Structure 1
Amino acid sequence: MSGIGANIKRLREDRGWSQGRLAREVCRLAGVSGEPIGRQEISRYETGKRTPREWLPFLAHALGVNVEDIKTLQGVPEPPMPTLADFLPAGNPLAPLRARTGRRIDSETVADLRQRVHGLRLADDVIAGGDLIRPALRELRVAVTLYREASYSQRVGRELLIQIGELAQITGWIASDAGQHEEAERIYRIGMSAARQAEDCTLAGNIAGSLAYQYSNTGREDEGIVLAQAAVHGAGSKAPAKARALYHDRVAWAHTKRGEAQLAMRALGEAAEALEEDSADNASPNYLYWVDAGELRVMESRVYTELRRPLRAVPLLRDVLSGYQATHTRELALYLSWLAVALADANEPEEAAHTAERIISLSSAVASERTAERVRVVLNRLEEFSDTPEVALVLTQHRA
């Protein structure tokens, strides 16, 4: 990331804006139509792949700073995070080599990989993306290398593709948590390709839902709703109950981010109905171990918060948080962030400030862009109550 790119990213995040929001502001200030500067262009500026040049004054204006503030390097830039390109071969990473020279593998090798993939999922429950991204990418490289270079039966090849798909889903999730959204999208698409080749519609839908969730959270709401709905329709009614519940959950969130309250409520209801059908006779894949009634309550409370319905959101969030595991630091901070916003919406600034203090303390210990973004959202929401002493103290301490 260049000095200019790092400054643009920092200033944008300080405002709590998505890349899409910044792009729209730049176009508005420049008086142009058709969005010649879009989200992807902002991403290229931030990663140093391009330099703004003639757009720099408009970027500075949108971000409320001088051009020199963007040009001046702030501190020593952090070393770049790894990307999938660092770990995988060029071209189609799932294309087998014409002449495989590696050893022959069997189901036992795939079973070992399956255990490591599940271990990575469990690690993600307690370790944030910035700390997990490197081992996750290494595991994905190993799996893809096996598929391309080893020899195996048709059945083992399909099992291997499924594990690549599962590994891509959790690795994409980890990359997204680390703030590497473009990288996460590339990883998710590799996973969807592997799942489709393995003819595993449930897995393909799970990966598509994860990417839809990222779209919805990064200013690409229209793409999010289309992909979330595609996951629902692609898997069909024969998908396991937990899978269908999760697909509808993603649809609910996508509608919420577009402000479509009625459609969001309907999708939440469909998620609850699907989960009620869960039984031992309709076994779900291991990777859906975390989907349960509690998780649906979390999503419901978040939907109510986003839709500015605090009287519904606050009791739900308090109920969820009352029994939440303290070891899941990132999720605890995230759920508390929605509680803080809901409390502010309920005109309870003192309690919102107290909750914000907990969030800031928790998030400082995890390398998660998700929690960092939620801290910015909470602090921006509290600005309205800056005359309240408890809020003023939180805002002052955080700025310091």
Structure 2
Amino acid sequence: MAAKRTRLARARKAAGYTQEALAEALDTDRSTIVRWEAGETEPLPHKRLKLAQALKVTASGLEDLLAESLASPAIAEWGSMPTEAEVPSDPMKRRTLMKWGVAATATTGIGIEVFGSIGMADVQRLQRTTERLCNLDHRHGGETLWQAGVATVREANLMLEQGSYRASVGQAMLEATGDLQIRTGWLACDAGRHEVARASFTDALTISRQAGDGEIETRALAGLGFQSNLVGRPREGLRFSRAAEDAARNLGPSSRMTARAASGAVDGAVEAADEVLDAIAGGLDSWRVTLELGRVMRVISTYRAPGVDQLSERYAALVS
């Protein structure tokens, strides 16, 4: 199998390892090394430190090696992406893969190993991935990026199912996974992959109930409302949007802003976005808030509604 991560393969050879020898050093099998170098799978968190040490590179250096890809510009900038073998072409298989995230489903045919201890560093890596996907979405759109979301969601589900972690880490991982599911849903919507979008938003809603996170619930319902409208089910979209409004009543302005914009309530979104800008101007520092604000502003700016021009000018001044 030809190596797609050629720099990773070169680093292995420079460190004096054959694929068999590296597999032995990492207590795994050669087929796992082959899949890493082919760009088909990612080393799991508990293997990355050992792999970096074996290759005599830093943790960030290993991430650079793993980021190599021969795909489209958006994927190349993103880093390693799943192949078609990782994202089944059959819609029912894809929904099953993402909807349940059960280890037996997610690991079929890819040789995933059991996770070790999961910590906040893994949660933060998941959060950075979500942020990176959002930034790339703004530059490239979701045509291919949704696949990266699917692959990372699968890894997050495996960590939740197979990893060992404290209750606080588990809670944070659930919330980070819910955020990632919502981002994946938007990417899939942009790409016209509505079965993936639906499954992603539905998964996020399920996670919100497990985590007791009202913000994720609101955003997931808003996403479902938006997606329903896109596929020609406006009554269903209205029901989801009303549910999002109900869920948002007990939340702060950031979640209200997102829910209203996604459901098409532009006037309400303008009002809520103004509140968010007030909060940011007052020192609020939240990557989640600012990333969602950027998406909402793109939606709002396409409408001619009271306050839109003034809000756009205020947002432009904030980010300039």
TM over 0.5: yes
The CA deviation string for residues 22-61 of structure 1, in whole angstroms up to 9 with x for no partner, is xxxxxxxxxxxxxxxxxxxxxxxxxxxxxxxxxxxxxxxx
SS in 2 for 1:219: coil
1:227 aligns with 2:240: yes
Q: Hey, what does 1:191 align to over in structure 2? A: 204
Cα gap change, 1:123 to 1:296, in 2 (>3 Å): closer
1:93 aligns with 2:101: yes
Cα gap change, 1:101 to 1:187, in 2 (>3 Å): same
Q: Hey, what does 1:333 align to over in structure 2? A: none
Cα gap change, 1:294 to 1:156, in 2 (>3 Å): closer
Matches within 5 A, 1:164-313: 164-237=177-250, 239-251=251-263, 253=264, 265=267, 267-268=268-269, 270-271=271-272, 274-275=275-276, 278-279=279-280, 283=284, 285-292=286-293, 295-296=296-297, 298-299=299-300, 301-302=302-303
Cα gap change, 1:195 to 1:128, in 2 (>3 Å): same
Do the aligned residues in 2 keep the contact of 1:275 with 1:293 (CA within 8 Å)? no
SS in 2 for 1:122: helix
1:136 corresponds, among 149, 157, 175, to 149
Instruction: Provide the aligned length of Structure 1 versus Structure 2.
Output: 221
Gaps of 5+ in 1: 1-78, 255-263, 305-311, 325-400
Gaps of 5+ in 2: 1-84, 106-112
Cα gap change, 1:101 to 1:297, in 2 (>3 Å): closer
Task: Provide TM-score, normalisation by structure 1.
Answer: 0.47
CA distance in 2, matches of 1:162, 1:101: 22
Do the aligned residues in 1 keep the contact of 2:208 with 2:214 (CA within 8 Å)? yes
SS in 1 for 2:208: helix
CA distance in 1, matches of 2:102, 2:88: 23
CA distance in 1, matches of 2:158, 2:92: 13
CA distance in 1, matches of 2:142, 2:235: 26
Cα gap change, 1:231 to 1:95, in 2 (>3 Å): farther
Matches within 5 A, 1:52-67: none
CA distance in 2, matches of 1:244, 1:168: 19
CA distance in 1, matches of 2:221, 2:203: 11
1:119 aligns with 2:132: yes
Q: Hey, what does 2:116 align to over in structure 1? A: 103
The CA deviation string for residues 237-258 of structure 1, in whole angstroms up to 9 with x for no partner, is 3x2322212222234x16xxxx
Cα gap change, 1:143 to 1:91, in 2 (>3 Å): closer
CA distance in 1, matches of 2:92, 2:136: 20
- What do you get for the CA RMSD once the two structures are aligned? 3.9
Amino acid at match of 2:290: Y
CA distance in 2, matches of 1:183, 1:200: 22
Matches within 5 A, 1:1-12: none
Q: CA deviation at 1:287?
A: 2.4
Cα gap change, 1:293 to 1:90, in 2 (>3 Å): closer
Do the aligned residues in 2 keep the contact of 1:243 with 1:284 (CA within 8 Å)? no
Which one has a bigger Cα radius of gyration?
Answer: 1
Do the aligned residues in 2 keep the contact of 1:244 with 1:274 (CA within 8 Å)? no
Q: Hey, what does 2:9 align to over in structure 1? A: none
Do the aligned residues in 2 keep the contact of 1:140 with 1:168 (CA within 8 Å)? yes
Amino acid at match of 1:93: G
- Identity among equivalent positions (%) equals 22
CA distance in 2, matches of 1:195, 1:184: 16
CA distance in 1, matches of 2:190, 2:99: 26
Q: CA deviation at 1:209?
A: 1.1
Task: Provide TM-score, normalisation by structure 2.
Answer: 0.57
1:150 corresponds, among 144, 147, 163, to 163
Cα gap change, 1:218 to 1:303, in 2 (>3 Å): farther
SS in 2 for 1:289: helix
Q: CA deviation at 1:133?
A: 2.2
Amino acid at match of 1:242: S
